[in-house]
Amino acid sequence: MTQETIRIGMMSFAHMHAASYAAHLRQMDGVELVGVWDADATRGQAMADRFGTAFFADNETLLAEGLDGVVICSENVHHREHVEWAAGRTRAILCEKPIATTREDAQAMIDVCAATETRLQIAFPVRFSPSVQRLKAIIEAGKLGRLFSAKCTNHGSMPGGWFIDRELSGGGAVIDHTVHVIDLLRWMLGAEVTEVYAEVGDSLLHPGLGIDDAGLLSFRMDNGLYGTLDTSWSRPASYPTWGDVKLEILGEEGIAMVDAFAQHLRVSSDAAGKTRWLYWGGDMDRGLVQDFVAMIREDRAPSITGEDGLAALAVALAAYRSAVQGEVVGVEME
């Protein structure tokens, strides 16, 4: 029996992950990358040319192409608008993280997708790291016993561009990185963060940046676990890659540590001008888009829901409130 061709459109290449998602979609059997829309027409045309597909000057024309799915990688503040454009016009939406910059926008995205029976999936690719998946299996098997604490980091390079424009991003390193790690913990532990204390540094590492580039969160979860998260744009331009995601989980029966980006070789090249990491292990972005396409093909619910995106966002927003108030705050879901 002939496999159904899944038709996917790309909406915006503002986020750097978009190029990776598009490349993996192009490599998948039974998937057609129908076209690209981007508010930046020059960027959109360049990306369409790069991936051998069509550029659409307006979003309505792309959405009229009978798409099975849309991948949205616009600036954070535009996620709500772009999801509302696509909801009801396609079967499924993969939206870059964070889901939005406010709880209200995130909830509106969830509601419009529910009302139009559109599947909304949030892009948390680190769930598809083989080492992270192994850690989840160890925890679920009870090998660590009762869990006590989680020590986590998510360090990266300062991305520049719209990421440091608060009106477009909703915040800096804290919102950019907190959502990744909190999503992993919620997913692995089946627990919710209930309260947060945070110290947030604006322009701490990059003088004059005008937005937070470092933050340290302490938090509690409703299963009794205590956690810390060191999140920053602390990696210099000379660093081999953009950064890290590390988890250290302590339980009564032992401790487990994961470096999600450790599957690499260090290659020093005069042509490149520095040492770089070349990955040999699992590709998280490929896992994410394969899961998205499988969701469409199998007509099933998303593995990473809008509600997951909202829960992770709520912790990042609580961190900012805590830093302003100088005290422990509760995580507000409504």
Question: What is the model's pLDDT at position 38?
Answer: 98
Are 311 and 192 within 8 A, CB to CB? yes
Pairwise CA distance, residues 37 & 67, whole Å:
13
Section 79-99 average pLDDT: 98
- Let me know the angle formed at the C-alpha of 173 by 163 and 245, rounded to the nearest 5 degrees: 115
Note the CATH architecture for domain 6-123: 3-Layer(aba) Sandwich (3.40)
pLDDT digits (tens, 9 = 90+) for 119-158: 999 999 999 999 999 999 999 999 999 999 999 999 999 9
Pairwise CA distance, residues 256 & 236, whole Å:
28
37-51 b/e (C-beta count within 10 Å ≥ 16 → b): bbeeeebbeebbeeb
Are 285 and 24 within 8 A, CB to CB? yes
pLDDT digits (tens, 9 = 90+) for 35-47: 999 999 999 999 9
pLDDT digits (tens, 9 = 90+) for 52-82: 999 999 999 999 999 999 999 999 999 999 9
ω into residue 236 within 30 of 0, thus cis?
Answer: no
Give the pLDDT band (50/70/90) at residue 1. very low
Tell me: pLDDT of 104 over 70: yes
Tell me: pLDDT of 223 over 90: yes
Section 107-113 average pLDDT: 98
Closest CA to 196 of 242, 239, 165, 231: 231
Domains of the chain, by residue range, sit at 6-123, 128-283+313-330
pLDDT digits (tens, 9 = 90+) for 13-42: 999 999 999 999 999 999 999 999 999 999
Section 233-240 average pLDDT: 85
| Token representation of residue 329 | 């705050």
Give the pLDDT band (50/70/90) at residue 2. low
CATH fold match for the domains 6-123 and 128-283+313-330 = no
- Let me know the angle formed at the C-alpha of 218 by 212 and 221, rounded to the nearest 5 degrees: 125
Section 96-100 average pLDDT: 98
Alpha helices, H only, 6-93: 17-27, 41-50, 59-63, 79-86
| Token representation of residue 1 | 């029996």
Give helix then strand counts, H and E, for the chain.
10, 15
For the structural domain made of 128-283+313-330, what CATH number should be given?
Answer: 3.30.360.10
